[in-house]
Structure 1
Amino acid sequence: MITIRQQIKNLGSGRLIRFLGLLFLVNLTTFHLSAQNTSAGGRFEVDYIAGCAPLTIQVTPIDGLGSIVRQYDYDRNGSFVNDENFTFTQAGTYTILQVIQNVVPRTDSITVTVYDPVPPTFSVFNCESNSIQVDIDDTTYDQYEIDFGDGSPLVTINQGQIVPTHNYALQGSYPISVRGIYNSAFDNCGTNTTTTNTINILQAARLSLLEVTHISADTGKIQLNYTTNPDVVYQLEQSLNGISNFQFVKFINDPATCIIDNLNTRDNFYCYRINAFDACNGTILSSDTLCSINLEAIANDSFNELNWLTSSINFSNIDIEKDGASLTSIGSPSISNYQDNDVICNIDYCYQLRLNYTHGGVSISATQCVTAFSTITPESISELTASVSGKEITIDWDAPVNFTVDTYFVERSINGGVYERVGSTTSNSFVDSGLRTSNDTHCYFIQYTDQCGNASEPGRISCAILLSLDKNPNIVGQNFLSWTNYEGWTSGVNSYFLEKLDENGNLISSQNVGGSLSYSDNINSTEQIFQYRIRAISNDATPKESFSNTILVISEAAVAVPGAFTPNGDGLNDILEAKGKFINEFSMHIFTRWGELLFQSDNKDVGWDGTFNGKLMPEGTYIYKINVIDFLGNSSSKSGSFVLLRK
């Protein structure tokens, strides 16, 4: 039997068949038999030999034996009763056995068939102008009786016949019942009822969204979102890799969404449309078409490549998303690939395409993820700052701009020797400890591996500034300082500064010496102990700085006594004073040549005026002895002679 539903499927190609001609007048004859049925021996009759459960049978004796006792076994279970009616509650084939003890033959029988009262299955298709087409795809019963629910005459058809189109006078809601009938059987079988809301005008579906929701190996799923009229018959059609050959997929039941699975969405793209169907006259209204996107993501050396296939019908643009964020938009349907260069190796990137149609529909691809890789040699480290602090050298460098570092490796050479690896780090700073920073030249370069495992070339070599001090042999009271040139910066050194620090490292003074690599410093410090250090400043807009080693300078306490003085009251050189630096404790004694003590003082600012007990001492030679303790606690003595003059 070809049902209306099957005929609708056959119309999926869009080539309409005038199947009104398939609707023909049906045989309205029914066979509701209720005549008596005679047993095999002719001794009794039953009113029905077939019907649906529960089926009640009435037995009528026709043997003419009067009031003789007759017994019946209705279901051949060996149990006999005198009752002449019985109800069969289960489907099956039963033999009713009659027994009369005093006649020959003693038994007579008849067979009864009891059917399962299954409600018949059918579908209702709404048509324009308040018409419907009932499609009975049930093959259980011999006949079917249709009640259209509007008071019109009942229609009875044989199995396999097509129900004529029914027209309602008014648009509304109608209960439609179909009852199954077996020939030569009691008419008590199953009835099925459904309610339909008629329509006046056929409404097309709106297909709004297509999304590939799952891909696993070779199978995928596509979800469709749409808007339909629940009272219109809709069929979903599918075309493979184009829009030229649509095939029926299924009828639309859910009014908002459906999922089509077991698709090879990895290798193909699929196009869909939804047809509103008038089963009465074959009219079809198709929705706009949406096509899936077959997206492929490929990781290449230092870039990810996207390729896709889809239909360009009603194309507006394709939006490309990367890790859930907008990446770019493609405005031409002729473009089907994209190269993403903004990737970092060993990072997973996930892409998804959104195809926007001119009619407002959207198609979303499945998400495709790839792991980026690269074999490009990373850029070398070009900015390196090596700076000394005590016995440590801190090395800082600028991280590479275009590469993500996995591990930095620090290579060191001492006094021009072979470079050896002294450590590794994941930050762009390293401290090299336990060094003889005032004696040896320490040079460094940085090498690293990026996230891809690629090793960079060796970076710029930078040697920490080594400061040296020599006493100037030609000039007393001068320190001659020299230092090595710093070459760790691409911009070069702007200036060197000679810095003096106190013993605690606090800055005392700073002298800009330009680009010079040496300097002669006059020792006129008030500090007995201090340190020298070189600070280099780069030419960058935000200057970098590098410090040399420090050199500790310790001065001895110095005392000077003039060779003569003239205490004559002219205000010039009237007092014999001892001058000195770095003196913490002081004592001075003055004697005659014969050892007689004339003067003593514990204050270096208090000198001898040339008198003793208020009397002027004569011209001549005198002896002094001075004892001092400096700020570092060191003791020293000095003695000598001077001349007293009165002129």
Structure 2
Amino acid sequence: MKYLLSIFFLLIAPALWAQGCFEAIQNGQPVKVICADIPVYFRDCTPNPDPSAVIFYYPGPGKFDPQNFNQNDLLQGEASTTFTNPRSYIITQVINKQGGGGTQVFEQTFEVKGSPEPEFNVQSCSNGFVNFSITDTNYDTYTIDFGNGSTSTVTPGVGISTRYSSPGDYTVTFTGNYDDALACGGSKTTTVTALPLLDEENPTQLNKLTVLRQDDINGSVQLELSGLVPGYDYAVEQYTGDFRNPYREIGLIQNVNAATLTHTINNIDTEEGTWYLVRPVDACGSFSINSNIVSAIYLELSTDELKVDVTWDNLPDFEKYDLYRNGTLLQTFDSDARNYTDLDVGCGQVYSYYIVGSGTDPQGDSYSSVSATLQTEVTSTAIPATPFLLSSFNMNNQIELTLQGTEPDGRTAIERSINGAAYKPLSTVTQPVYLDTEAGVQPVCYRATFTNACGNSAAVSNTSCPVILTAERQTDGSVILTWSAYNGFQSAPNYTVELLDDSGNTVNAYPATGLTFTDNTLSNALQVLRYRVTATSQDGAYQSFSNVVQVEQDALLYIPSAFTPNGDGLNDTFEIKGKFFSSYTLRIYNRLGNVIFEGTNADPAWDGTDNGQKALAGAYAYELTFTTSFGTVKSRRGTVTLLR
């Protein structure tokens, strides 16, 4: 501190400005230019220096004012300091001699230069090329270490390109250099990606082009691509038809990281069947060989009187077209086809259509193009044909109505008249068959009105009245059948009487004339006779069945008049035999009216005993109660003679 005080008092008097010598030392070496942010000190180089002198340095940046300074700003001897602000600095050396020798002041100007990170741009180009451009102006030159063993030096504003032999990531270092201060340079490291080589023999393949929405402003397409090279962007282009600029970019596929990709482009004009292609582009704006060219297909639908006209348009080149309706292949066409009329449609129905064009490019790779899916509703003002109504009984004596000659997806209003009364609405159905479970077996007639899906109604159908059959059993066992005429055919029908078994199978069939028939040849195999009448149209195309009627035949019983319980094996028991009954109960009475035997068909027959003792020969009364196969309970009484 005494040195500071000494110089303070000495400097009150005018200092002696003289020639001196000192130098800046940075990183152990004398420098003419000082690097910012690196410690530096100053060393006296005066010839024959006074060893007793005390030396101070004023670090600037302005001139040293002996009359106005802060002692804390002075550097004593070789004390170091660090400059942070690049600019020119006036460094002043102050030598304070001991013993009244006075003070000498000497100044030098030093340039302090910073070492900021260099600024630059990098572009990865196709086929391994990478462009570097220096945007920094702080340094005189820049050295680039490309990370592949090679370097280059450039000046500010100069661009340079290098090609990497292998694709991948490389660490590149940029170093800024000063011509007069090599130690002050700054550097910056970055990673660059060298893009792979593009195989022009196997370019990108546009495998499938699908128009998702057909619109002149908000249209969209979907592209299915293969052969992509990760690292490249891909421009999607649409044909304009202008020879000066035949293709225009409509989308850019970025961040490609796989060889295959599905990409959608929205808000474009898809109202034309025009070409599309894809080509790889790099950050340098270089375009490479494009993909195959595939045309979109423009689809148009129009409807008129139960038909749909389908037309399509596109640029070449497809080998065939597949037309789909409601997702199912409808028809395949050759390359020249451009329209189709679909007549197999229903009124009021909505149908969707799209068409797929398929082709093969010169390299032998297949591609396809799918149009947008369009929908249309079929309309018509034509009156439907008058339907034909058929009425018929089923085996449960319910009336089934069948409507023929109608169109799909229409509706039918059915009316019914019972016993000649006025027609009343019965039901509205969408199916061609209707079951009337309420009419029962009585005179009934039906008519129907069909309305198609377009709202057009046909004329009222024919009136259909099924056959009503009745049966009456005569005392001789014969059966007289009577029925009503069938109404509904264009001419009188042919009638057939059918005898049915329990399962409804025909046992016998008898052609009949008129509306009556007598069955004298009764079946011995059926206890219940089931009859129905079939009305058949003259051309044999239609049949209607009547209701089924049932006639019960009497049970057939064989009751012996006598038996001989003598153990000879012949007529030893009183056994009841026969058919058309399901069970019976037999009681035997003696002369006093007492029951001496009671059994059923499941029990052993009467063997002529009374409480285990042989009954006396003679006549005995019996009572037989039986249940017929039809469920009717009947009884018979008589006598049987026991012979011994």
TM over 0.5: yes
Cα distance in 2 between the residues matched to 1:277 and 1:136: 18
Letter in 2 for 1:163: I
Q: How does 1:546-561 map to 2 (within 5 A)?
A: 546-548=545-547, 550=549
Q: Decide whether the 8 Å contact of 2:494 with 2:538 is kept in 1.
A: yes
Letter in 2 for 1:382: F
Cα distance in 2 between the residues matched to 1:278 and 1:498: 90
Give the match for residue 515 of structure 2.
517
1:298-341 per-position Cα deviation (integer Å, ceiling 9, x unaligned): 566544444433211x33222333444433223224x3333334
Q: Would you say 1:411 and 2:415 are equivalent positions?
A: yes
Count of residues in Structure 1 that have an aligned counterpart in Structure 2? 494
Output the TM-score relative to the length of structure 2. Answer: 0.57
Q: Which residue among 369, 372, 381 is the counterpart of 2:377?
A: 372
Q: How does 1:53-92 map to 2 (within 5 A)?
A: 56=38, 58=40, 67-68=55-56, 84-86=80-82
Q: Decide whether the 8 Å contact of 1:414 with 1:443 is kept in 2.
A: yes
Give the match for residue 239 of structure 2.
240
Query: By how many angstroms is 1:289 displaced?
Result: 1.6
| Structure 1 unpaired stretches of 5+ | 1-34, 37-43, 50-54, 74-78, 127-131, 556-581, 585-628, 637-647
Q: How does 1:370-409 map to 2 (within 5 A)?
A: 370=375, 372-375=377-380, 377-382=383-388, 384-387=390-393, 393-397=398-402, 402-405=407-410, 407-409=411-413
Q: Decide whether the 8 Å contact of 2:89 with 2:112 is kept in 1.
A: yes
Give the match for residue 288 of structure 1.
292
Q: Decide whether the 8 Å contact of 1:207 with 1:361 is kept in 2.
A: no
Cα distance in 2 between the residues matched to 1:424 and 1:459: 14
Aligned pair in 2 of structure 1 residues 207, 497: CA closer, same or farther (>3 Å)?
A: same
Q: Decide whether the 8 Å contact of 1:386 with 1:488 is kept in 2.
A: no
Letter in 1 for 2:266: N
Cα distance in 2 between the residues matched to 1:331 and 1:500: 60
Q: Would you say 1:136 and 2:143 are equivalent positions?
A: no
Q: Decide whether the 8 Å contact of 2:209 with 2:370 is kept in 1.
A: yes
Give the match for residue 121 of structure 1.
122
RMSD of aligned residue pairs (Cα, Å)? 6.0
Q: Decide whether the 8 Å contact of 2:499 with 2:506 is kept in 1.
A: yes
Q: Decide whether the 8 Å contact of 1:387 with 1:547 is kept in 2.
A: yes
Q: How does 1:457-536 map to 2 (within 5 A)?
A: 457-467=459-469, 481-488=481-488, 493-497=493-497, 499=499, 510-519=508-517, 533-536=532-535
SS in 2 for 1:239: strand
Give the match for residue 163 of structure 1.
160
Aligned pair in 2 of structure 1 residues 456, 542: CA closer, same or farther (>3 Å)?
A: closer
Cα distance in 2 between the residues matched to 1:96 and 1:458: 115
Q: Decide whether the 8 Å contact of 1:46 with 1:59 is kept in 2.
A: no
Aligned pair in 2 of structure 1 residues 481, 321: CA closer, same or farther (>3 Å)?
A: closer
Q: Would you say 1:444 and 2:465 are equivalent positions?
A: no
Query: By how many angstroms is 1:546 displaced?
Result: 0.7
1:381-410 per-position Cα deviation (integer Å, ceiling 9, x unaligned): 4252322778x54123156575235x4432
Cα distance in 1 between the residues matched to 2:417 and 2:433: 18
Q: Decide whether the 8 Å contact of 2:35 with 2:115 is kept in 1.
A: no
Q: Would you say 1:227 and 2:227 are equivalent positions?
A: yes
SS in 2 for 1:328: strand
Aligned pair in 2 of structure 1 residues 177, 293: CA closer, same or farther (>3 Å)?
A: farther
Give the match for residue 47 of structure 1.
34
Q: Decide whether the 8 Å contact of 1:242 with 1:271 is kept in 2.
A: no
Give the match for residue 599 of structure 2.
none
Give the match for residue 436 of structure 2.
432
Q: Would you say 1:421 and 2:421 are equivalent positions?
A: no
Q: Would you say 1:327 and 2:330 are equivalent positions?
A: yes
Give the match for residue 617 of structure 1.
none
SS in 2 for 1:463: coil
1:11-46 per-position Cα deviation (integer Å, ceiling 9, x unaligned): xxxxxxxxxxxxxxxxxxxxxxxx99xxxxxxx996
Q: Decide whether the 8 Å contact of 1:171 with 1:198 is kept in 2.
A: yes
Query: By how many angstroms is 1:446 displaced?
Result: 3.4
Output the TM-score relative to the length of structure 1. Answer: 0.56
Letter in 2 for 1:409: A
Q: Decide whether the 8 Å contact of 2:196 with 2:229 is kept in 1.
A: no
Q: How does 1:486-635 map to 2 (within 5 A)?
A: 486-488=486-488, 493-497=493-497, 499=499, 510-519=508-517, 533-537=532-536, 544-548=543-547, 550=549
375-384 vs 197-206, which moves further: 197-206
Q: Decide whether the 8 Å contact of 1:205 with 1:276 is kept in 2.
A: no
Aligned pair in 2 of structure 1 residues 69, 545: CA closer, same or farther (>3 Å)?
A: same
Letter in 1 for 2:399: T
Cα distance in 2 between the residues matched to 1:540 and 1:137: 97
Query: By how many angstroms is 1:496 displaced?
Result: 1.7
Letter in 1 for 2:174: R
Aligned pair in 2 of structure 1 residues 352, 302: CA closer, same or farther (>3 Å)?
A: same
Aligned pair in 2 of structure 1 residues 262, 524: CA closer, same or farther (>3 Å)?
A: closer
Cα distance in 2 between the residues matched to 1:145 and 1:499: 115
1:204-253 per-position Cα deviation (integer Å, ceiling 9, x unaligned): 6142314237439714243241325679x886462335485024565887
Give the match for residue 625 of structure 1.
none
1:229-283 per-position Cα deviation (integer Å, ceiling 9, x unaligned): 679x886462335485024565887344463623425424553345579999x99
